[in-house]
Chain A
């Protein structure tokens, strides 16, 4: 396969332009030779004209390519390119005319071939200058593209293309049709010339430079035009190349746009500092809104705020006070010493307006105020509040040496700066808070996991009874506790406990309770003694207004007896198989941690009773009894009792499920039980004793 080399449009069109130009030169010289020697060369004038159009098109295509390719298209560069081409052309013109002046009336000076050669070079230079400049103008005009401008430009290009061929009909006569075409093209050029939006983006210095370049372009344009007009009067050239609607109109367009640009740039000079100021403000805005990244601090934002506000108002000095920290604590100051600042602060404090301003509580009404001061150095100040989350967290004071130095625009822009900075700081704080909350959530999840591990996964029992238990915390962690312990082959302990309150504090107390219960349980104490010792141990570690309630059952499966004590805990429900009846075990007992002295033992009872197979014990916490439905009705003891009477013949798991299910349906579909609740169900079986 033959691989075609990539077509290089730039080089190709340049080559074409040169070839066409050489052909043009050759054709015209041949024709000239024919005229001089009165031989008909047989070359029609149209042939030259076609070559001319080809030349225009190839130059156009070359410049179109080269300007688009050049990435460094800043405005000054573009104008400089046009200006340099102009200067070069003018320089060549001047050199040639100098040469002819030197030659004087010599033979060479009259040589038609040489004259024609120079004419063709001049023609080429003028065309290049005009086409390249117009393409550069195109870039400037289309700097801020809108559909309309693009269409206008396309219309202009099309009209120019038509103008190239106009010469075939017109034969270089300055008739009405020529004038008409010129008026149309100039009109289009005039419309396009109103697109000068690039000018404000030049800095002050760049504007001066562009003025220089534009004046060079204007003068070279005028000079070249006058030179071109001279050609048309001359009879030496067999075919006039330059009296062409296309070129003349281009002259007009280049000149009009250059003059417009020149004038607009000139008149923009005095206001360019304003535009530059606005641009800096826009950049400040961006910096203010972007400045706080996670992990960075607020001071950087305030730093930028100070700088932005100072440059926006041309302030001579400034400082920033944050009230959120210690009174009047200072974060930043600029071009002001401690002493002057205190003097100013005192003067500000004396002004009634400032006092009212400082006392204003409705922060949404708080806006910057300007003050006149009788200070020898600073005669006006601007107070700017910094409001975060409807709270004034501080103020910025801008000082100027001139009286009434802050105008409305400055105050407006500073107000927006301050708001932007406040938003940035607020966002930063919110983000930090969110991150912290996330961390707390994580910690709570860990706490939840740890607490779950405090409850037994396996409940001790033998064949004499079945047992199950369930616990649910209202928050991530809770204060409910249950446990079992195997004293020996026949004797088992069940415990249920509840810390007053709920949540994290309850969870910590629950962990303490477990520690104390687990160590006391092993001592094989009587239920009352167990409670008394627990009370004394817990009394030392519970908070003053916290207490714990608990119930303990010690089962002897050999003797079928239960020993029981209750410390302020909700009574335990027992179903008696013999009586076919469920009832709460009546026994007195004070909660743990309420009476923190030796007297406690007098406030706790102990009971021993026999059980039979088929009897059921239901231990639970007050979360179940006190669970409320939407009518504020409590689940209550009676409901649990009747539930057990109905379902006592079922296994402990079924009984437990029944109670929990009816608790949930009582509270309502999505009604939350806002306390921790736990339940333990024990059912005694027929048991073959060894």
Chain B
């Protein structure tokens, strides 16, 4: 189960994730990010406070946008990850490519 919510704040797009991202619903995450890009977002902040679990399929979604974001000079930041989910990003090494912040204020 996953719920995805988007908000606008100070010219940033907030992507609020709750629940678990796995192979069955990673498409929803993909669509949400794609929509923000299509709408011309310049900065995407992912709120991972409510994210309980992310599978490799979910990580694959973030990964697949890295090149695209870099080319189009769009910021992608993740903040407020729970320790367990942060661990998953860290093990894969994605924390080297996506800036991850402990809370919202530091991410802004």
Q: Residues on A close to B: CB < 8 A?
A: 498, 500-502, 544-547, 549, 567-571, 588-591, 594-596, 603, 622, 626, 634
Contact = CB atoms under 8 A, between A and B. Distances in A.
B64 interface: yes
Contact of A595 (B60, B61, B66): B66
Interface stretch (B3-11, B43-51, B89-97, B100-108): B89-97
The size bracket of the interface on B is 10 to 19
A591 B63 CA distance: 10
7 contacts: A500-B60, A501-B56, A545-B60, A545-B63, A591-B93, A595-B66, A622-B56
A588 B93 contact: yes
Contacts of B66: 594-595
A590 B96 contact: yes
Contacts of A596: 67
Nearest to A594: B63
Interface of B: 23, 30, 55-57, 59-61, 63-64, 66-67, 84, 91-94, 96-97
Contacts of B91: 549, 568-571
B60 to A, nearest CB: 4
A589 B67 contact: no
A626 B67 CA distance: 28
A549 B23 contact: no
Nearest to B30: A545
A501 B23 contact: yes
Given A501-B56, A595-B66, A545 B61 contact: yes
B93 A590 contact: yes
Contact of B92 (A501, A544, A546, A568): A568
A182 to B, nearest CB: 90
Contacts of A603: 93, 96-97
B92 A591 contact: yes
Nearest to A569: B91
Contacts of A570: 91
A665 to B, nearest CB: 22
Contacts of B64: 544-545
Given A570-B91, A596-B67, A501 B60 contact: yes
A588 B96 contact: yes
Contacts of B67: 596
A546 B96 CA distance: 18
A547 B57 CA distance: 9
A594 B92 contact: yes
A209 B7 CA distance: 91
What are the 5 closest A-B residue pairs judged by CB atoms, nearest first? A590-B93, A500-B56, A545-B60, A545-B64, A568-B92
A626 B57 CA distance: 14
Nearest to B96: A603
A502 B23 CA distance: 9
A673 to B, nearest CB: 14
Contacts of B96: 588, 590, 603
Contacts of B59: 500, 547
A569 B64 CA distance: 18
A546 B23 CA distance: 12
A348 to B, nearest CB: 42
B60 A549 contact: no
A589 B56 contact: no
A418 B56 CA distance: 50
A547 B63 contact: yes
A618 to B, nearest CB: 16
Given A549-B92, A622-B56, A594 B61 contact: no
Contacts of B30: 545
B32 to A, nearest CB: 14
B57 A590 contact: no
B21 to A, nearest CB: 13
Contacts of A571: 91
A594 B57 CA distance: 13
Name which of B60, B67, B97 has the most chain A CB atoms within 10 A of its CB: B60
Contacts of A589: 93
A566 to B, nearest CB: 9
Name which of A498, A590, A603 has the most chain B CB atoms within 10 A of its CB: A590
Contacts of A549: 91-92
Contacts of B60: 500-501, 545-547
Contacts of A498: 56
Contacts of B23: 501-502
Given A590-B92, A591-B63, A594-B93, 17 more contacts: A500-B60, A501-B23, A501-B56, A501-B60, A502-B23, A545-B57, A545-B60, A545-B64, A568-B92, A569-B91, A570-B91, A589-B93, A590-B96, A591-B92, A595-B66, A595-B97, A603-B96
A500 B97 contact: no
Contacts of A634: 84
Contacts of A568: 91-93
Contacts of B61: 545
A545 B63 CA distance: 6
Contacts of A591: 63, 92-94
Contacts of A626: 55
A547 B93 CA distance: 12
Contacts of B56: 498, 500-501, 547, 622
B13 to A, nearest CB: 21
Contacts of B55: 626
Nearest to A506: B56
Contacts of B57: 500-501, 545
A549 B61 CA distance: 16
Nearest to B64: A545
Contacts of A501: 23, 56-57, 60
A494 B56 CA distance: 23
A590 B63 contact: no
A609 B94 CA distance: 26
A588 B90 CA distance: 8
A547 B66 CA distance: 13
Nearest to B20: A632
Contacts of A547: 56, 59-60, 63, 92
A571 B91 CA distance: 7
A600 to B, nearest CB: 10
A433 to B, nearest CB: 23
A498 B30 CA distance: 22
Nearest to B84: A634
Nearest to B56: A500
A596 B97 CA distance: 12
Nearest to A546: B60
A477 to B, nearest CB: 15
Contacts of A546: 60
B90 to A, nearest CB: 8
Nearest to A567: B93
A51 to B, nearest CB: 98
A590 B98 CA distance: 12
B77 to A, nearest CB: 17
A470 to B, nearest CB: 21
A622 B53 CA distance: 13
